[in-house]
Each structure stands twice: as C-alpha cells, then as structure tokens.
Amino acid sequence: MRVLGIETSCDETGVALYDSEQGLLGHELYSQVALHAQYGGVVPELASRDHVRKIIPLLTTLLAKTATRPQQIAGVAYTAGPGLIGALLVGASVGRSIAWTWGVPAIGVHHLEGHLLAPLLETPAPTFPFLALLVSGGHTQLVAVRGMGEYQLLGESVDDAAGEAFDKTAKLLGLGYPGGAALAHLAEQGHPNVFHFSRPMTNRPGLAFSFSGLKTHVLTAWKSQENPSEQTRADIARAFEDAVVDTLVIKCRRALKETRLQRLVVAGGVGANKQLRHQLQVLGQELNVKVFYPRIEFCTDNGAMIALAGCLRLQAGQQSPLNFNAHPRWLMTQIDATYSQLKSP
C-alpha cells in the first residue's frame, strides 16, 4: 500500500510517500524558519499562508522525484492535530481534496502518534512494546506503547515542555530564533560545573516534568554577572542543558524500571540533542535496554512520519469522512476514541 503523507501542523511543510512493502520512497520538506525569525517566533497567519504557497509545489516535486503516478497511490494521510488550526486546515483540506479527486481513502493522523512511530522508519526498527520519550515542541511525555494505538501516558510536563524551555532560555540569553538549536550549540562550548541548576521534580516520586523554573534560574544567574563574557553565556547554557538532560534521563530510568520494558524510543525535536542521545545510550547500556531514535531529519516535523502512521491506520481499515476536521488540541488519551468513530472504507 502506497500512502502520501502531508504535515502542516506548525511552521514546516512536509510531504512524503511511504510504501508498506518498500518503505519510505521519498520526502520533501520546507522550513519557514527564515520567515518567522524576524518576529522571534511563529506567526500563525503567516505560517498558514506559506503552507498554501508551498504545499502543491512540494507535492509536484515529490511525485516527480519518485516517478509516482496518482494511480499508484492507495491513500492519503494528513496531520489533523494538534497544532495551529489554520496550518492544520491547509494540509487537511489539500489532503482530503486530493484523496477525493483520486478516489482513495484519507486519514487524519495525530501529530504525536507520527513522532512516536517515526523510529519505525529506521533499520533496525523497534518492535512493540516499548517506552517512548516524546520531546516535541510543546510536549514532553513518557508513553508506554503496547501496540499501534495502545498508548498509556505515564507522565508529562505540568508547565513548559523541554523544547519550550530551550527556546525561552535561549531568548533570555540573547540567542536567535529558533533558540533551542542555538542554545545546544552554545552549550558545547561551555565548561561543566561552573553553574549548577536544579533537576526539577526529581526529588519526589512520579514521572511528571516541570521546566519553567529553570528559566528563572538562568535569568538569575545571567543577571548576577556584572560583565558577563561569551564564555559565561556558554557556561550557563551548558548548565541549563545538563539540567534538562539529567532530568529527562532520571525520569526515563524510573519509567523503564517501573514498566520493565526493554526498548526505549526517543522522538521529537529535542531528541536530536547530542548530549541527550549520549546520556540515554549510557542508560541503555546500564539497564540492558535498546535505545532507538529516528534519523536527525525525522526528529523535527516531517511528512514521512505522517505517511507511515497513516499507512498503518489505513491498513487497519480506518479512514476519515469527507467532512474532515482539524483538532488544534487533541490529547494522546483521545486518539482511540477519535479513531473508533471513523468508518471503514
């Protein structure tokens, strides 16, 4: 089964073709970073308009590069949520329209499910069940994944997610947009143990996260320096990154011991962080747990993960109706309830 995937939940336009037998055939991605950089963050209206401009040219390029004809495509998958409502509606309307025109089923995919399943695009791919650390944009979650659609939320952030904390802290330090990647790069030049920030919520039981307080610690440390040098900025960035990474690793250790799962999947944009990958690899060796990641280009939003998730859903006999919906807020715990209402082809 060959499925076209469309991702437009925020500021990246992604399209991809996934074949159930041949795997990923190709993907195209356009990032709007340059468009939003002057505003210091994503402007929803501009994001939506840019998706409109880019999506059809990207689809045309994808079909040409993969030598795929519409008759070869058996289904269309698009991100239905969560995300920016205007951006979601661009992908949903285009995806559903294409499916209707080509006479094939369409399926609205949960954005986070796409991230959870992204490591299945790799070789070797993890098998169910596994523990997933999902650190994508505004989400930091630990999820026990027993199978397709069988997700148990074990813990999540009660305030800022890790990605948000990276971006906001970068702004406090005067770094550019997007700040998370800039801060991680700066942290590589920092010296360890010059500054020390708390590992929030690790001194109590549970698997919940909280990163908002770290921003305050960073701001206090930065303002306490009379004439801070670039090295001081790097040292603070290093201390912040160490605090976030340590916190994530501590909670993963707890979750693995509680669930006794032998596989750990790391997905989402923060999953590209070098320090996090290293520390989780060390944890995996210590606990005899296999750790899986998507390739770096599939850590951030992309069409490949949507095409894969959509293919699995369509193969299970699910499809979205013609009166499609977009869900700017769509909890992981609501996935099964939403899909159970969908009719079979």
Span 186-199, pLDDT tens digits: 999 999 999 999 99
Annotated binding site for substrate: 134-138, 167, 180, 273
Annotated binding site for Fe cation: 111, 115, 301
Mean model confidence pLDDT for the chain: 94
State the CATH architecture for 129-293. 2-Layer Sandwich (3.30)
Instruction: Identify the pLDDT of residue 178.
Output: 83
The structure's pTM equals 0.94
Q: Where are the domains of the chain?
A: 2-117+298-334, 129-293
Does residue 222 surpass a pLDDT of 90?
yes
Annotated binding site: 111, 115, 134-138, 167, 180, 273, 301
Residue 271 banded pLDDT, cuts 50, 70, 90:
very high
State the CATH architecture for 2-117+298-334. 2-Layer Sandwich (3.30)
Give 45-114 as a DSSP string: HHHHHHHHHHHHHHHHHHHHHTT--GGG--EEEEEEESS-HHHHHHHHHHHHHHHHHHT--EEEEEHHHH
Assign residue 23 a region (left: φ > 0; alpha: ψ between -120 and 50; beta: otherwise): left
310-337 confidence digits (pLDDT tens): 999 999 999 998 888 899 999 887 887 6
Equal CATH topology for 2-117+298-334 and 129-293: yes
Residue 138 banded pLDDT, cuts 50, 70, 90:
confident
CA distance 295 to 106: 27
For residue 330, give both structure tokens.
């769509």
Instruction: Identify the pLDDT of residue 337.
Output: 67
